[in-house]
Amino acid sequence: MNYKIALIRGDGIGPEVVNEAVGVLDTVAEKYGHTIEYVDVLLGGCATDAVGKSYPDGTAEKCRACDAVLLGAVGGPKWGSDKPAEQRPETALLAIRKDLGLYANLRPAVLRPALADACPLKKETAEGGIDLMMVRELTGGIYFGQRERYNTEDRGVECADRMAYSEKEIKRIGRRAFELARLRRKKVSSVDKANVLETSRLWRSVMHRLAQEYPDVQYEDVLVDNCAMQIVRDPGQFDVLVTENMFGDILSDEASMVTGSIGLLPSASIGDSAPGLYEPIHGSAPDIAGQDKANPTATILSVAMMFRYSFQRPEEADAIERAVDEVLAEGWRTADIAKPGERVIGTREMGEKIRERLKSKG
């Protein structure tokens, strides 16, 4: 196959981890007979420095002309909240997701077998295994609602953020979750706050209707506060968790921490027609940028998700995930996942080890 991939290297450790992931893409292409064309796309703080805005004109069009987008990370203290919105990297991230219609954010939280002892939960909980997929609605809800700030006579300044969801928005994300569950362990847990919020009551009723269409998938409602508790008590009970934007933002960070390191977790943001966007969940880590210290594994596993969800090539995805697991099982560690006294390797060597494993298989 021929693939065209947009590369948003971004800021901080972004370019370093993307380099290693591109090496993995090239290795997979060679091994499975694909050709890959790369298109560099400027976005984030580096774009502000180069052209004065973090989301240069034409960015979405460039990405739309590709089959998938790989993003490192954007942001850093240089482009902080004192800068105008159009110069801030976060503005660009929200804009690209919205412009490409990427309404579903998929974040697997998997405890990799070789790193079970990095799990901060009880030993017996970790031994039960963690392999859940968080499906977060990404383009609606309170993060995109109307904001208000006004003075009152007796209460000082008052602010409001509007949270709105339509049946259409809920249905499309719900369908994604049920379809994904069919490829996994066939269980969907829908997270809401239906005992308080009207948006959640609508969410729940739409999910119940969808559940009827998927009788082969086990379905349950979970209140968001209970879900936060269950993720640390017994994460092994979950397969696919689906929830709205803000709940998903918070719960996905919680779920990622129970698996050990932020440097290991990939994500995918997908829509109905535009190319999917694949990125590690971590940020630009300015504290270690340019020092060959970043763990490239999350970005490499994001490439595995790209093969699985954008290219429908599970074989390549499995091969990348297996190579990562084998390198970890052999004991290779970047600083973020090393225990005291363990030998530490850098970003480039970790990438190289994973590529070697990929090459050496069948």
Q: Which residues form the catalytic set?
A: 143, 193, 225, 249, 253
Site string for ligand NAD, 129-158 (x = CB under 6 A): ------------------------------
Give the Cα separation of 285 and 300 in Å (integer).
17
Comparing CA positions, the residue from 222, 272, 231 lying closest to residue 104 is 272
Q: Would you count residue 70 as binding ligand NAD (CB under 6 A)?
A: no
Q: In Å, what is the CA distance from 95 to each residue of 43, 52, 64, 174, 333?
A: 11, 16, 14, 23, 35
- Say which residue the tokens 């800068």 belong to: 83
Considering only residues 159-218, where is the footprint of ligand NAD by CB under 6 A? Answer: none
Q: In Å, what is the CA distance from 295 to each residue of 21, 73, 144?
A: 11, 13, 32
Q: Would you count residue 110 as binding ligand NAD (CB under 6 A)?
A: no
Q: Would you count residue 74 as binding ligand NAD (CB under 6 A)?
A: yes
Contacts of 58 (CB under 8 A, 6+ apart): none
Give the Cα separation of 248 and 281 in Å (integer).
13
Considering only residues 251-270, where is the footprint of ligand NAD by CB under 6 A? Answer: 262-263
Nearer to ligand NAD, 138 or 285 (CB): 285
Q: Least separation, in Å, of the C-beta of 90 and ligand NAD? A: 6
Considering only residues 4-23, where is the footprint of ligand NAD by CB under 6 A? Answer: 13, 17
**Choices 102-110, 121-129, 268-276, 285-293; region in contact with ligand NAD by CB under 6 A:** 285-293
Comparing CA positions, the residue from 65, 107, 79, 66 lying closest to residue 10 is 79
Q: Would you count residue 283 as binding ligand NAD (CB under 6 A)?
A: yes
For residues 276 and 306, the answer to whether their CB atoms sit within 8 Å is yes
**Choices 187-195, 232-240, 282-290, 349-357; region in contact with ligand NAD by CB under 6 A:** 282-290
Q: Would you count residue 76 as binding ligand NAD (CB under 6 A)?
A: yes
Q: Where on the chain is the footprint of ligand NAD (CB under 6 A)?
A: 13, 17, 73-76, 90, 93, 262-263, 279, 282-288, 294-295, 298, 336
